[in-house]
Amino acid sequence: MLGRTANGLYWMFRYIERAENIARLVDAGQRMSLTRSDAVDDDWDGVLQSAGVREAYDEVHNKLTGTDAIDYLMRDRSNPSSVMSCIEYGRNNARMVRTALTRDTWEATNECWIELKSLLGKKLKTAELPETIDVIKRRAGLIRGAFHGSMLRNELYNFARIGTFIERADNTARILDVKYYVLLPSVSHVGSSLDNAQWESILRSVSAHRAYKWAYDPEYKPANIADFLILNGQMPRSLAYCYEKIVSNIGYLSAEHEKKLPAHDTAEAIRQSLQKLTIKRIMDQGLHEFLEDFVAHNNKLGAEISDGYRFYE
């Protein structure tokens, strides 16, 4: 396969996944904001930091407000990570590799772009935000469903899946990290109903509220929620699950090309480290520090895949 085609598929699915997850991040920020009686615009500082766009936001806006932060994350074209920018980049990549996609996948992608272009064509009102986020999640799910249900399981499929799970792992880590940035009013609130409500908001933002109750006690416990989203291999958005999928798909590429690259060793090393960890060790190390370290290693893997498979040649 040409590196250009692999690059187009890989990034098409990274952008679609990122669009959905930025919407989920906004959802997490909005839900957490609503748990606080004294909610202030500064609460959105944590959401912007988790999205990695805090400094870029300041270049566009003189003051931090919730309304502007949501607009910047959802529809600002000057933000390359906004939902609208990601959908547009994803559709452009799909068009570039149009002949490598099934008709169902292309149509789902194009229809997503058309609907969101209309929905996000104007500034959103607060009341419109939940429905808009639902549309983004639904459209992204349709693209994945069309792709999953109609594509051959060949290297085209593998590159798309690797892109999906590298991006999903990055975004799950960032959504979880929002809890670190959105501080409680005081240390005495740790373990309080407010603390638990904020952790519950994290679960709801990744659509894992019911699944958590199937896997753990009905009571919300921070350590259990962190365990669920980091180490539980049955949870499709957990870091452990993402790395099982990355390693299996990159393994198929290794067999296909009869060649092992540095990316294979990095992916396997990250998977093994997740298998050996316990949530107690992560909490003792510091959740924020662990997540920062994970995102750095995940980015390293992405760069190695890009270099190893010559995406830009």
Neighbours of 102 (CB within 10 A): 15
CB atoms within 10 A of CB 229: 23
pLDDT of 172 reads 93
* DSSP track, 159-203: HHHHHHHHHHHHHHHHHHHHHHHS--SSGGGTTSHHHHHHHHHHH
d(CA 248, CA 232) in angstroms, rounded, equals 17
CB-based contacts of 144, cutoff 8 Å, min separation 6: 16, 164
Residue indicated by tokens 């830009």: 312
Whole-number pLDDT of residue 1: 62
**What mean pLDDT is reported for the chain?**
90
Q: Are 25 and 171 contacting, i.e. CB atoms less than 8 angstroms apart?
A: yes
- Pick 55 or 313 by higher pLDDT: 55
SS3 237: coil
- How far apart are alpha carbons 254 and 243 in whole angstroms? 16
Query: How confident is the model over 3-12, as pLDDT tens digits?
Result: 889 999 999 9
Cβ(90)–Cβ(12) under 8 Å? Answer: yes
Model pLDDT, residue 87: 98
State in Å, rounded, how far the first CA of the chain is from the last one. Answer: 12
8-state DSSP, 124: P
**Out of 75-79, 206-210, 212-216, 294-298, which region has the weakest mean confidence (pLDDT)?**
206-210
CA angle 195, 201, 207 (to 5 degrees): 150
pLDDT for res 190: 57
